[in-house]
């Protein structure tokens, strides 16, 4: 099979030919149709996330068709369309797994990080962590839902019922979850890269009430804020923009160091928390909600061989919406 592989961190991906993987017990073999490109892929490639499996096939927003079943696999049938996200495997027996918090499993394995992912024509996945895709979405439209959508959804849930919501970093996750927040009747305030007039225009087209640069202060105190940009300096800014009793949710898997800030920004029972990975229930709940909104995905398509180009566009902030590799 054709694949784009990471041989060494801080180096471009290499196009190569690999032996097609075979499904083991409880696994399914998937013919990959589309795989979205995520900032986490950049963090793995750039060395921000250490100790990946090398060589590695990146990609954890996979949509494809089941073409073979491993022993004991029975959740899906041959020909079913399935989505595979970041969470690739958990032990099922630790205190986190047994209490519905499998996203915190210490032995967890991750698609496109410790397990090969979707920047290839075929991949294998633990069937437990596959999810059915709503029929209203094409393969390319569905791919960004598998991470930007799911992490955004888990982040939004952590904000509770806050009516005024700030979103810092208006990329793949933000453009999806903004639609959910507007659907829920919330006021959304978007913070983009400084001077990004087109990004602010895009945000407003999705129902955002106010949009400005990340250094700006909103016209009214927020009930909650979600930070998708991996910039630690945004944490004190978001805390300053949130009212007493509010919450700031860090939605990324990696963030630069948070600078020192005065205690009064946290005082007043403000909360600061992170979102770590996601659960199968997150995926199932979100795939029920997405077509009800309905969430629209805005995609920029690239061929498999264009993965490095797609990652560069993401790194430099030149994308509106998500980048998706069209595999077949």
Q: CA–CA separation, 2 vs 120, rounded Å?
A: 6
* Mean of all residue pLDDT scores within the chain: 96
Residue 17 has pLDDT above 90, yes or no: yes
* Backbone angle region of 239, left / alpha / beta, with phi > 0 → left and psi within -120 to 50 → alpha: alpha
What pLDDT, on the 0 to 100 scale, is given for residue 319? Answer: 84
Q: pLDDT > 90: what percent of the chain?
A: 97
- What's the average model confidence in pLDDT over 205-233? 97
What pLDDT, on the 0 to 100 scale, is given for residue 104? Answer: 98
**Residue ranges of domains in the chain, CATH in brackets:** 2-144+277-326 (3.90.180.10), 150-274 (3.40.50.720)
Q: CA–CA separation, 72 vs 51, rounded Å?
A: 31
Q: CA–CA separation, 239 vs 36, rounded Å?
A: 31
HEC-encoded secondary structure of 163-212: CEEEEECCCHHHHHHHHHHHHCCCEEEEEECCCCHHHHHHHHHCCCCEEE
Residue 236 has pLDDT above 90, yes or no: yes
Residue 143 has pLDDT above 90, yes or no: yes
pLDDT, tens digit (0-9, with 9 covering 90-100), for 62-90: 999 999 999 999 999 999 999 999 999 99
Residue with tokens 């970041």: 86
- What's the average model confidence in pLDDT over 7-19? 98
pLDDT, tens digit (0-9, with 9 covering 90-100), for 182-210: 999 999 999 999 889 999 999 999 999 99
What pLDDT, on the 0 to 100 scale, is given for residue 317? Answer: 84
Q: CA–CA separation, 62 vs 85, rounded Å?
A: 7
- pTM higher than the cut 0.85: yes
């Amino acid at each position: 099979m054709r694949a784009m592989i990471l041989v060494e961190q801080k180096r471009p991906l290499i196009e190569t030919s690999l032996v097609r993987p075979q499904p083991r017990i409880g696994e399914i073999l998937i013919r990959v149709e589309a795989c979205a490109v995520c900032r986490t892929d950049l963090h793995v490639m750039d060395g921000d996330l250490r100790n990946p499996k090398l060589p590695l096939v990146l990609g954890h927003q996979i949509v494809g068709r089941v073409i073979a079943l491993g022993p004991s696999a029975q959740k899906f049938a041959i020909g079913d369309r399935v989505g595979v996200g970041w969470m690739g495997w958990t032990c099922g027996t630790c205190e986190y797994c047994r209490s519905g918090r499998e996203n915190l499993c210490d032995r967890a394995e991750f698609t496109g990080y410790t397990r090969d992912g979707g920047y290839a024509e075929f991949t294998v996945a633990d069937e437990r962590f596959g999810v059915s895709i709503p029929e209203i979405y094409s393969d390319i439209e569905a791919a960004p839902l598998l991470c930007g959508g799911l992490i955004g959804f888990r982040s939004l849930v952590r904000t509770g019922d806050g009516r005024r919501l700030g979103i810092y970093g208006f990329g793949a996750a933000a453009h999806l979850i903004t639609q959910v927040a507007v659907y829920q009747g919330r006021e959304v305030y978007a913070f983009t890269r400084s001077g990004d007039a087109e990004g602010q225009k895009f945000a407003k087209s999705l129902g955002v009430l106010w949009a400005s640069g990340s250094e700006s202060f909103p016209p009214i105190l927020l009930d909650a804020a979600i930070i998708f940009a991996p910039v630690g300096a945004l944490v004190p800014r978001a805390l300053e923009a949130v009212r007493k009793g509010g919450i700031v949710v860090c939605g990324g898997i990696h963030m630069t160091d948070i600078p020192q800030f005065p205690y009064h920004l946290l005082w007043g029972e403000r909360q600061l928390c992170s979102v770590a990975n996601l659960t199968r229930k997150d995926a199932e709940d979100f795939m029920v909600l997405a077509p009800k909104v309905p969430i629209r995905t805005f995609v920029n398509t690239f061929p498999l061989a264009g993965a490095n180009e797609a990652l560069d566009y993401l790194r430099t902030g030149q994308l509106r919406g998500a980048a998706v590799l069209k595999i077949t």
